[in-house]
Amino acid sequence: MIRHLPALLVIVPLLTALTVSALSWVAPRLCLPLTFGCIGASLASSIGILVEVIKSGPVVYTMGGWSAPVGIVYVIDYLSAPVLVVVTAVALINLIASSKQIDRDFSDKKGTFYTLYILFVTGMVGIVATGDAFNLYVLLEIAALTGYSLIGIGHERAPLSSLNYLFIGTIGASFYLLGVGYLYIATGSLNMADLARFMAMPEHGTSTMVMFAFIICMTGLFIKMGLFPLHGWLPNAYSYASPASSALVAPLTTKVMIYAMIRVGLYVFTPAYVFGRLQVGGAMVWIAVAAIVFGSLLALAQKSLFKMLTYIVIAEVGYMVGGFFLGNRMGITGSALHIINDAAMTLCLFLAAGAITYRTKSDDFKDLKGLFHQMPFTMTAFTVGALAVIGVPPTCGFFSKWYLIIGGIQAGHYGYAAALIFSSLVNAVLFFRIFETAYFDQPGDGKGHHHGHHKHHKHKNKMVEAPVSMIVPLMITALGLIALGIYTGDIVTHVIQAAIPGGIA
């Protein structure tokens, strides 16, 4: 059974998506349970594979028995297994948390929404699982097209921002495809492991075509992950979408693209080529520094919750790109660890923001007054998420930052270390500004007022918490942030260290 799990991870959701689509005409009430069952099963199998990988090493599956390099292989190794778990877990948690939101926002097209939801997850899972550079493109497009739709079926400005995303995203995907094409011309292979072998040959190491393939592949991925200055599509797409969509797309897309970058960098072009021969590390880290600084500063300029979160996502992308291109073990460890941690952090914050907008119908900062009294559970989870983003121990955000900063110091790249510290400080300002509004101000106040501390405002502070189906997944995510932090040691020693090739010091 375990042997077939990699294939089932993609095939089962693909077929379920079709079934859900058909069911939406016949028995729309069954759509949610079926979707839930499908993603739940994916999560269970991902965990199964992760355990298997930790126990006995990478799992390789050849599609249809056609062996590599001719056929398509799925490779679940130390790098992909944890990301698979993250992808499916995020999808499942968000599905539960958003079910009420989905009912409200898409009452007449729930079937469509669930179909797209599953297909998106299929694409993401496939990107992570595949061991074939071209297959990655196909799955990238599955995830992207469904992503555009998920975002586009939001309100008012969502279709336009989705269209913008579509244009830029398609350019990104085409770039990647073009890069793979050049690589195929140069080597005659599309299998990742095979390509990595070719890269060891001197004629490929010095080939201009391979270098161009690298540049254009990576640029495509950078566009897709919203790396500054290629981030223009991201803020509107994520903030105008329905919270049910953005809490899925925002934590996953950027993180899975980072995964793809690490995968292509380490296992296609190989570290010796990327860090040794090309020497692009230094320049890329400076771009990452710019992403961190600009992302943080732009986040400061926002006046609504979702917009602010999207700019934090842009800064976090800078964290991970920078960590990877430091090219040392600590930096890449931090980058890979941050895929997991940041997905969880982003999910937590987007879910909390979703719960808030579900109640207040607005995510404008001025509408967050008194929320600590009205939505204590949501705000508690939001606080944990915020502390993780700021990087306060023992939340997971602290520990990925730990690796990234040490990576920066060891690489002698103090600008990167300073940028991370700067970003932490800005994040502290960002979130405590929200805490102040939510803790001190009373709803309905025009501006600051003085209420003597003996007075109670019980009548204004009635609890109007989000539905239980939102709170429970949100709380689980928040606890997860602390658990991930506490178990950092295990995650790093048992999984991530093994995911990084031995040659990297």
Partner 1 sequence: MITQTVFSSRPLVAVLISLLAVPVLLSCRTKDIRETWTFIAATLKFLVVASMLPLILAGNEIRFTVFDVLPGLPIAFRVDAFGMMFALVSSFLWIITSAYSIGYMRSLHEHGQTRYYCYFALSLSATVGVAFSANLLTLYLFYEMLSLATYPLVTHHQDQEAKSSGRTYLFYILGASIALVLPAMLFIYAKTGTLDFAAHGFMGGAFSKSTLLVLVLMLVFGFAKAGIMPLHSWLPAAMVAPTPVSALLHAVAVVKVGVFCVARVITGVFGSDLLLSFNLNTVVCTIASVTIIAASLIALSQDGLKRRLAFSTIGQLSYIVLGVALLSPYAVTGAMLHIVMHAFGKITLFFCAGAIYAASGVKNISQMVGIGRRMPYTMTAFLIGVLSVIGLPPCGGFISKWYLVLGTLQADKPVFLAVLLVSSLLNAAYFLPIVYKAFFCTDEEAQFKKKVDEVPIWCLVPLCITASISVILFFVPQPFLKLAQMGVQAFIGG
Q: Which of 19, 297, 439, 460 binds partner 1 (CB under 8 A)?
A: 439
Cβ of residue 50: shortest distance to partner 1, in angstroms?
A: 19
Separation between Cα atoms, residue 478 and residue 384, nearest integer Å? 6
Our CA dihedral for 424, 428, 429, 430, rounded to 10 degrees, sits at 90
Q: Binding to partner 1 by residue 54, rule CB under 8 A?
A: no
Q: Do the beta carbons of residue 15 and residue 43 sit within 8 Å? A: no
Separation between Cα atoms, residue 128 and residue 151, nearest integer Å? 22
Cβ of residue 353: shortest distance to partner 1, in angstroms?
A: 21
Q: Which is nearer to partner 1, 112 or 410 (CB)?
A: 410
**Within 479-498, which residues bind partner 1 (CB under 8 A)?**
485-486, 488-489, 492-493
Q: Binding to partner 1 by residue 8, rule CB under 8 A?
A: no
Distant-in-sequence contacts of 30-35, Cβ < 8 A, 24+ apart: 31/110, 31/111, 31/114, 32/99, 32/110, 32/114, 34/114, 35/95, 35/114, 35/117, 35/118
Cβ of residue 432: shortest distance to partner 1, in angstroms?
A: 6
Cβ of residue 383: shortest distance to partner 1, in angstroms?
A: 9
Cβ of residue 402: shortest distance to partner 1, in angstroms?
A: 7
User: Coil, strand, or helix at residue 200?
Assistant: coil
Q: Which is nearer to partner 1, 83 or 491 (CB)?
A: 491
Q: Do the beta carbons of residue 300 and residue 426 sit within 8 Å? A: yes
**Within 387-406, which residues bind partner 1 (CB under 8 A)?**
387, 390-394, 399, 402, 405-406
Cβ of residue 450: shortest distance to partner 1, in angstroms?
A: 6
Q: Which is nearer to partner 1, 29 or 453 (CB)?
A: 453
Q: Which is nearer to partner 1, 213 or 478 (CB)?
A: 478
User: Coil, strand, or helix at residue 89?
Assistant: helix
DSSP string for residues in 243-311:
HHHHHHHHHHHHHHHHHHHHHHHHHTS-HIIIIIII--HHHHHHHHHHHHHHHHHHHHT--BHHHHHHH
Q: Which is nearer to partner 1, 27 or 425 (CB)?
A: 425
Q: Do the beta carbons of residue 116 and residue 248 sit within 8 Å? A: no
Q: Which is nearer to partner 1, 88 or 333 (CB)?
A: 333
Cβ of residue 326: shortest distance to partner 1, in angstroms?
A: 12
Question: Residue 59 phi/psi, 5° resolution?
Answer: -105, 130
Q: In 10 A of CB 445, how many CB atoms?
A: 14
Separation between Cα atoms, residue 494 and residue 418, nearest integer Å? 29
Contacting range for partner 1; rule: CB under 8 A; set: 139-147, 210-218, 315-323, 445-453: 445-453
Separation between Cα atoms, residue 404 and residue 460, nearest integer Å? 44
**Within 311-370, which residues bind partner 1 (CB under 8 A)?**
none
Cβ of residue 488: shortest distance to partner 1, in angstroms?
A: 6
Q: Which is nearer to partner 1, 141 or 465 (CB)?
A: 465
Cβ of residue 54: shortest distance to partner 1, in angstroms?
A: 16
Strands (E), 100-233: none
**Within 148-167, which residues bind partner 1 (CB under 8 A)?**
none
Size of the site for partner 1 (CB under 8 A): 36
R_g of the chain computed on alpha carbons: 22
Q: Which is nearer to partner 1, 72 or 340 (CB)?
A: 340
Question: Residue 32 phi/psi, 5° resolution?
Answer: -60, -50
Cβ of residue 390: shortest distance to partner 1, in angstroms?
A: 8
Task: Residue 127: name the closest of 51, 184, 201, 74 by CA.
Answer: 74
Q: Which of 64, 202, 446, 452 binds partner 1 (CB under 8 A)?
A: 452
Q: Which of 29, 361, 449, 459 binds partner 1 (CB under 8 A)?
A: 449
Q: Which is nearer to partner 1, 55 or 456 (CB)?
A: 456
Q: Do the beta carbons of residue 126 and residue 10 sit within 8 Å? A: yes
Q: Which is nearer to partner 1, 145 or 411 (CB)?
A: 411
Q: Which is nearer to partner 1, 217 or 491 (CB)?
A: 491
Separation between Cα atoms, residue 353 and residue 94, nearest integer Å? 12
Q: Do the beta carbons of residue 388 and residue 341 sit within 8 Å? A: yes
Cβ of residue 297: shortest distance to partner 1, in angstroms?
A: 16
Q: Which of 37, 451, 462, 503 binds partner 1 (CB under 8 A)?
A: 451
Cβ of residue 405: shortest distance to partner 1, in angstroms?
A: 5
Q: Output DSSP code: residue 328.
A: S
Q: Binding to partner 1 by residue 456, rule CB under 8 A?
A: yes
Q: Which of 29, 55, 361, 450 binds partner 1 (CB under 8 A)?
A: 450
**Within 399-438, which residues bind partner 1 (CB under 8 A)?**
399, 402, 405-406, 409-410, 417-418, 421, 424-425, 428, 432, 436
Strands (E), 49-176: 59-62, 73-76
Q: Binding to partner 1 by residue 454, rule CB under 8 A?
A: yes
Sites of contact with partner 1 (CB under 8 A): 387, 390-394, 399, 402, 405-406, 409-410, 417-418, 421, 424-425, 428, 432, 436, 439-440, 448-454, 456, 485-486, 488-489, 492-493
